[in-house]
Structure 1
Amino acid sequence: MYEGTEAETSLKVPLNAKFLLGPEGAHLNISGISGLASKTSYAMFLMKTAQERYMKEREESVAYVIFNVKGKDLLAIHEANDFAEAEDPAAERARVMSEYQAMELSGEPFSQVKYYIPYAQEGRARQSTYLGKNEQEEYEAQGILKRFKYTYAEDKESIEMLFSDIDDPQQTMDAIINKIIDGTDPDFQGLSTWAAFRDKVDEFSQKSQKDDKKKSNEISVLSWRKFKRIINKAIRNDDMFANRVAESKGECRLTDEIRGIQKNDVYVIDIAKLSEDKQAFVFGDAIRAIYNLKLGEYDDILGNAKPPTRIVVFIDELNKYASKDTPKSSAILREILDVTERGRSLGVVLFGAEQFRSNIHPRVTGNCSTHAYGRTNSIETETKDYKSLPPVYKNMLTRLSQGDYLIQNPMFRSLLKIHFPKPVYKQFKG
């Protein structure tokens, strides 16, 4: 308050978790220009604060699933920040720690962290992650890193996630996917490997136009060829799509790992080096697994074990999966809309971040109870998404400093300008 004057004062702002994680409200949307708005840092600050708070809770519990989408940004959140980028690291650390102490926070990095990276054969490991070989070996020795795979037998139902950004006005891709996963079509019964699946798809795409019976319910050869191109681009020569999972070698299926998530666990899923279609595939598959876990789909497998009361999912670059331009038939968009519209009652909470809020599907932002507005430009603030903000706040948004946000939450009668401290986990700069 009174910034830049002799009367400048800092006040601690308490945020009621019931309006952030539920049950009163849920979901957080963070927007702002890349780099200057520190969107990821603010989301991580809130999650670290919540982890400390809920470690003391007895009746309720929270776990976190975080997607790393940029370089090594979130691949060392269990290690302390050394503030090496500062001119005087020791002084900077002391300053930041004083801010955490003022908020009655420990200033320690995340605990109970596990990392999941896409599987790649030895010699090609650098193709799947930005983690170096030494870092991978160190994490494996600590028991905090696994490599995830997808098998045809257990993961064919997630194939539709590969088509999340494909326009399908005639729903022919949808028809092919249903043919494959419903389990009743004799053409796709008995298949157990991705190679056998690709061979079967190739067989359908090789038919001539004369062989196409042109029945009203017949899928055309051209549709099969389009399907083949998309599938081959995604899974051919990719070690992540395998025939089996060797758990003894540190390999896993993400769905199996998510089933076992416990109180205060932090799962970091690395998708930064995957192509956009495979990023969407992994993200969509994990979201579906979390949703099914909270719906009780895995109760027979879990037995008496109970999942955390709430599971927070954080994804940066939300515009890739839930933009206004995403096809309505997108399986991933359906999953995100389910989470934002019905997740609060189940305990599934979405923390999403993007550069431009105006690009996001209105049903996603409309169902978020907490909004964080970071620095942006005047073109963005003139869109209808900012229509409800008074002019004084729109002007502020174009001048905010890094680490500053305008917060909109049911607890506050108007937007509140806040500042949050630098991250306490390891940073990769330059």
Structure 2
Amino acid sequence: MNQQFDIIIVGGGAAGFFTAINIVEKNPKLKVAILERGADVLQKVRISGGGRCNVTHACFEPNELVKFYPRGEKELRGPFHQFSSGDTIEWFENHGIELKIEADGRMFPVSNSSQTIIDCFLQATQKLGIAVLTGQSVQSIFNIEIADQKLWKVETQTEKYLVEKLILATGSNPKIWEMLQTFGHAVVNPVPSLFTFNIKDSRIKELPGVATLATVKVKDSKLESTGPLLITHWGMSGPAILKLSAWGARILNDKNYQFTIFVNWLNDADQEKVEKKLKELKQEHAKKSVSKKSPFELTNRLWESLVLASGIEAETKWADLSKLQLQNLASQLINGTFQVNGKSTFKEEFVTAGGIDLKEINFKTMESKLHNNLYFAGEIVNIDAITGGFNFQNAWTSGFIVANAIK
């Protein structure tokens, strides 16, 4: 038996819920259902931001906000003028959730718990009469005509649904992308984004947990990123690395995640400036041991490791440094060369570069240009951002625009 709804939203994640809630708040008479293939909804919301849910980012100017999206920068400019970070804050406030800004601009619920956001969405769907149907894995989608009316037929393992409007908010679900390709939609091949670098190197082996501000470049490319860098048991992570992985998602995939990076541990300093500083230190601290205390904004452990890597023994005094040792130390500090062999991706940070070709979407409505009454929200399209609340902002904005377009 066909279950009748006005609108079906496939995908019980952030974009799916936000879209559904906004549709029914604007059009209370519409009968809306969310289909989720899993047993639970909003799983990515639950684990995001270390279980705190990084709702958005305190970047309030749309033309600045788009710069955090390696894919989608041009297309999101219009949508962000309709619904941006400030609108997100207001929306959640109107639904009883206060957000706070952290030092790096990330925004979280004041409760510091993603459950707050989940409860907000579940209560809203309940109050608005939105059906949330779990265990509904979509097996097929058809375009059919009944009595001169074009409808979408959605089949799961157990149910069949007929609707006038269909919204897909399935994130990086290959099965749904395959179905869309049978409808003529082009899908940009998905590759991982937001991953950490696997590096085995004696200089960082004993330093997991050490963090510092650094500039990282990928050899033989224009890829460069500045920000906090975190040394881990498996290599390097932190915003500087994650940003690089997002902007370089396709380039690094083409390299099969085997490439060389250059790390400037002093951020923007150059060789000449650093050598000059080291010569001054040689004069000022002649009788002191070079490796004992970092003269730069580096932890003593990292400084000591770079000193040893420069061919300077642990007890060597500043006065005893040769010209070559000074040059080697300057090179280690501002141009450390590291070999990356693979990547590590974590479930809570997992983001995919790829999805429905942006040329096939009307960004005033998020409707397919190929099929009427077929809409998209969230990461199903070829849009992704760096870490910091930007991927959720895309979910909220696209969901709001879909809701605005539906009458």
TM-score by length of 1: 0.25
TM-score by length of 2: 0.26
Greater RCO, CA 8 A, separation 6+: 1
The structure that has the greater radius of gyration is 2
Which protein is richer in strand relative to its size? Answer: 2
